Amino acid sequence: MQFDAKTIAPDDTIETDLCVIGAGPAGLAIASAFVGAKTDVVLLESGGAVAEPGASALNDGDIIGDAYAGLTATRHRQIGGAAAIWNTRTAHGVGAKFTPLGRIDLESRQAGALSGWPMAFEELLPWYTRAHVMAGLGPLAYDAGRWSGDGCEPLGELGPDIESAVYQFGSRDALLGPMLRAIRVASNVRMISHATVVRLETDAADREVRRVEIRSPGGGTWRVAARQFVLCGGAIENARLLLCSGRTAESLGNRSGWVGRCFMEHPRDRSLVLHSLPRTAFARLRFYDLHEHAGRALVAGRLAIADAAVHAGGLLSAAATLLPVVRESVRTLREALGPFGRGPLAERWLPRGGHGWSRHPAPSVAFEGFTVLLNLEQAPDPENRIVLGRRRDTLGIPVPELRWRWRPRDEHSRQSVRSLFANALARSGIGIVRHREVPLDPNAHHHAGTTRMHTDPRYGVVDPAGKVHGVENLYVGGASTFPTAGFANPALTILALALRLAEHLRVRV
């Protein structure tokens, strides 16, 4: 069932078994897992069915440190969360690329308590498999060998440090549609839009959450009381809600001071360019363009760092994709294409996000080379953090303040992995690799790490199940629980952990 908070009377209290805060992919996955069960669920979403200026204004916040696009530009409030504005165009509709974290991402890679996850990769595998089905993807396989063939072969002669792998692509509707349809007809799940949670109300010792305080457009304040609560509001909002809540001086779940710390992004480096390609290069590189494999899954190749090289160099993870560079003269390109350059085919096949270039009728005429886009991991650092700012938002709540910098260790790894990719491409003989000075782009909108997972409450906010240390009935879902974030788009891991958390909650509510 779906409701609008504007219809709820001020000072009302809704009672339920499970309250999920945030209707992005994590919150929707958890709520939809209970459809048809005996458990009563309330799913709260700050936004509405479409993007709205009032909801977007609640994403306001301040930045201290390195340049960043801002908290309004990099967040989204709407049913479906950030998935509602995915913009990768595929033959199956607008969507996104998917890949899981690798084994090495969950391992301890350097000294100190901040490295590694409190679970083995094998523990996540069955949940990744279920997440694949939920996202409408192909088999859980990301090695290049599984996807070669049909004239698409990965590059050879890359050397020992770099190997080929793939991303899979899935549509937004394939992921969100089934969950939303199930929730909207469910008798035991109530999804309430325009319901912004502003505080978690606890007992005197902060050992249990009793209710959440909610404000709606127009100023109405009401509450939801539940046996169990799950925060799925994203890395910024999950941290802010914990910092705004609780009766003790440390804020809720923050006795060791970790709430808000270790914020991570996936910065992107565009400084490598592959040029002076022979005419045969575009055919040789088809594997790295979006293509349909065996009439089913949509995949695109990427270049990855071998685990041994990561360990040997003390590096952070990274991956490279090839984005075609259109020749400067658009007029010349249109003339070369003739009728093809003026119709709907051009809208489909000319580069949008880099996809479709290999199916161009004359790629060597249209494109002069490739930007080698590096997606980079950022190391968890306690000083990269969310705190409460001095300003207040339109609901009277302190805005979040992001204190973020690209640290020396991050930059050292960036320089090292960039050299590895450049050397591997040069070795392949596919073209000439040139380096140019381009500023780092930190704005992937992949927020992670502010309620990090750890078995020891001295080093984290939630335990391996996602339960907040020291609070008996409060859980957190989403990328804010990631101890490290790898280079991978977080959606698949968010879904896997949400399904795992839902199974954990089924026996507790």
Cβ–Cβ under 8 Å, residues 224 and 196: no
**Mapping DSSP to helix (H, G, I), strand (E, B) and coil, where does residue 206 land?**
coil
β-bridge pairing 196-202 and 268-275 = unpaired
β-strand partners of 284: none
Describe the strand order of the beta sheet including 62-65 as a list of residue ranges.
62-65, 398-404, 385-392
Return d(Cα 273, Cα 370) in angstroms, integer.
Answer: 6
Return d(Cα 26, Cα 481) in angstroms, integer.
Answer: 12
β-strand partners of 95: 88, 171
Q: Where are the domains of the chain?
A: 2-506
Return d(Cα 211, Cα 203) in angstroms, integer.
Answer: 10
Cβ–Cβ under 8 Å, residues 147 and 166: yes
- E strand or H helix that includes residue 29: helix 25-32
Q: Does domain 2-506 have CATH number 3.30.70.1450?
A: no
**504 Cβ partners below 8 Å, 6+ apart?**
465, 466
Residues in the chain: 509
* End-to-end Cα separation, the chain, in angstroms: 20
| Residue for token pair 């020992």 | 160
pTM for the structure as a whole: 0.94
Q: What is the pLDDT of residue 250?
A: 76
Render 375-438 in DSSP notation, one character per residue.
EE-----TTSEEEEEEEE-TTSPEEEEEEE---HHHHHHHHHHHHHHHHHHHHHTSSEEEE---
Return d(Cα 159, Cα 148) in angstroms, integer.
Answer: 19
Render 127-188 in DSSP notation, one character per residue.
HHHHHHHHHT---S--BHHHH-BTTB---S---SSEEEEEEEEEEHHHHHHHHHHHHHH-SS
In 237-337 the beta strands, taken as DSSP E runs, fall at 268-275, 291-293, 297-305, 318-326
Tokens of 35: 């459809």
In 276-384 the beta strands, taken as DSSP E runs, fall at 291-293, 297-305, 318-326, 367-376
Q: What are the CA-CA distances from residue 433 to residues 64, 196, 484 (Å)?
A: 35, 50, 31
Tokens of 492: 């698949």
- pLDDT tens, per residue, the chain with 509 residues: 999 998 898 999 999 999 999 999 999 999 999 999 999 999 999 999 999 999 999 999 999 999 999 999 999 999 999 999 998 877 778 999 999 999 999 998 865 568 899 999 999 999 999 999 999 999 999 999 999 887 889 998 899 999 999 999 999 999 999 999 999 999 999 999 999 999 999 999 999 999 999 998 877 899 999 999 999 999 999 999 999 999 876 799 999 999 999 999 999 999 999 999 998 899 999 999 998 887 678 999 999 999 999 999 999 999 999 999 988 764 455 555 544 444 444 444 444 556 778 877 778 888 889 999 999 999 999 999 999 999 999 999 999 999 999 999 999 999 999 999 999 999 999 999 999 999 999 999 999 999 999 999 999 999 999 999 999 999 999 999 999 999 999 999 999 999 999 999 998 88
Cβ–Cβ under 8 Å, residues 474 and 465: no
The amino acid at residue 141 is A
Nearest in space to 42 (alpha carbons), one of 242, 237, 214: 214
Q: What is the pLDDT of residue 354?
A: 61
**Mapping DSSP to helix (H, G, I), strand (E, B) and coil, where does residue 230 land?**
strand
In 241-317 the beta strands, taken as DSSP E runs, fall at 268-275, 291-293, 297-305
Nearest in space to 487 (alpha carbons), one of 397, 427, 414: 414
Return d(Cα 202, Cα 136) in angstroms, integer.
Answer: 39
Return d(Cα 343, Cα 337) in angstroms, integer.
Answer: 11
**Mapping DSSP to helix (H, G, I), strand (E, B) and coil, where does residue 441 land?**
strand
Return d(Cα 30, Cα 41) in angstroms, integer.
Answer: 10
- E strand or H helix that includes residue 241: helix 234-244
Tokens of 396: 């009277």
Cβ–Cβ under 8 Å, residues 372 and 272: yes
